[in-house]
Amino acid sequence: MPTDPFELFDQWFAEARASEPNEVEAMAVATTGADEQPSVRMVLLKAFGPEGFTFYTHERSAKGDDLRENPRAALLFHWKSLGRQIRIEGAVERTSNAEADAYFATRAPDSQLGAWASDQSRPLDSRDTFERRFEEAKRRFEGQDVARPPGWGGYRVVPERIEFWAAREHRLHERRLFTRDRDGWSEGLLYP
């Protein structure tokens, strides 16, 4: 079994791609802002590697507000078909504008326009308002590439702890914990 947490993540992620019926990239992101109120939501993983785990959103969203006030997060992947989950905790940094631009360019046109139309997580008086704003964005960018909106970008969770959990019969689960230290990673087991 791999002793590098990124190699193990890559292996488990590949196995989940082969068996998980829906959005293997879905992960829960937990944040806490200045009010110390925990908040969790699902997002999609868009890149991963030794530098961290990346997702994209509006910086003025609830998670963006939290991360500005407290740049730390926890992630959770749960792949029911495999009986596995991975927990990741660490500091959060912004991706570069070039990374955000490159990813934004790969999104479906309607998703790009939706990013312009949405004041994510802010109160909305009616669905009609959002749909009207979407149509306005559609007209604005008709016949041209949709630029990345200001304030829309990427966040990278730089892991300090990565736990791999595998289900076993009778709740005798297996838990492997990798903790970052000066020399790389130390590894240990946790009771189920």
CATH number at residue 97: 2.30.110.10
Mean pLDDT of the chain: 95
* The pLDDT of residue 182: 86
Pairwise CA distance, residues 176 & 24, whole Å: 21
- The structural domain count of the chain equals 1
Is 11 within a domain? Answer: yes
Residue 141 lies in a domain: no
pLDDT classification of 121: cutoffs 50, 70, 90: confident
Interatomic CA distance for residues 140 and 120, integer angstroms = 20
As a whole number of Å, the CA-based R_g of the chain is: 19
pLDDT recorded at residue 137: 96
Please say if the pLDDT value at position 120 is more than 90: no
What H or E segment, with its residue span, contains residue 189?
strand 184-190
Range 71-100 average pLDDT: 97
Task: Tell me the percentage of the chain whose pLDDT exceeds 70.
Answer: 99
Q: Which residues are catalytic?
A: 171
What stretches of 33-170 adopt beta strand conformation (E)? 38-44, 47-49, 52-58, 72-79, 84-94, 152-166
Does residue 19 belong to any structural domain of this protein?
yes
- Owning domain of residue 84: 5-107+150-190
Q: How confident is the model at residue 183 (pLDDT cuts 50, 70, 90)?
A: confident
Residue appearing with tokens 């792949």: 79
| Per-residue pLDDT, 1 | 65
Own/partner contacts of 103-107, CB < 8 Å, gap of 24 or more, are: 103/46, 103/47, 103/56, 103/154, 104/56, 104/148, 104/152, 105/145, 105/148
What is the distance between the alpha carbons of residues 176 and 35, in angstroms, rounded to a whole number? 32
pTM for the complete prediction?
Answer: 0.93
Residue 121 lies in a domain: no
In sequence order, the 6+-apart residues with CB closer than 8 A to the CB of 37 are none
64 pLDDT tier (thresholds 50, 70, 90): very high
Average pLDDT over residues 20-45: 95
* Mean pLDDT value of segment 149-167: 97
Contact (Cβ atoms closer than 8 angstroms) between residue 119 and residue 60: yes
